[in-house]
Amino acid sequence: MIMNETLRLYSPAYSGFMRDVDKEIRLGKFDLPASVQFHIPIMTIHHDPDIWGEDVNLFKPERFAEGVSKATNNNPIAFMPFGMGPHICAGFNFATNEAKITIAMILQRFTFRLSPGYVHSPFPVLAVRPEKGVQVIINAL
């Protein structure tokens, strides 16, 4: 739940991605002709209050307690931090497994708390990064 909420708020594909339309399709209320490109703005979708609720900008991992479908108001395709379908990021499984293993190993040995001087400032480059770094106080268990 924590990883999903973090990926929702700070998606690795910050700017989104482009898709080509091979044949004429209807996308929601839009008719897209063949041979056009369209942009899928992941961060806009991940911060849409119609999908995620009025608390969209709050860090609430519990929104994923009953799965992605429930968290997205029965619109599971609205959660796509690594893309979706046949074009999903090749590193998706590796990245999520690596993160779970790393977090488990670290939490066995240390406790963390943010420094009082920490300033929250996500900054979009290619991926979202902390503009001023992350000052953390680490204590061994």
Could you give the CA distance from residue 9 to residue 107 in angstroms, rounded to a whole number? 22
31-62 residue pLDDT tens = 989 989 988 888 899 999 999 999 999 999 99
Return mean pLDDT, the chain: 89
Mean pLDDT, residues 102-114 taken together = 93
Closest C-alpha among 44, 22, 49 to residue 35: 22
CB neighbours of residue 7 within 10 Å: 21
Give yes or no for residue 67 having a pLDDT over 70. yes
Report the SS3 class of residue 19: strand
pLDDT of residue 14: 67
Question: Quick one: CA torsion of 72, 8, 103, 92, rounded to 10 degrees?
Answer: 90
pLDDT of residue 38: 85
Does the pTM surpass 0.85? The reply is: no
pLDDT of residue 10: 86
Report the SS3 class of residue 50: helix
Separate counts of helices (H) and strands (E) for the chain: 5, 8
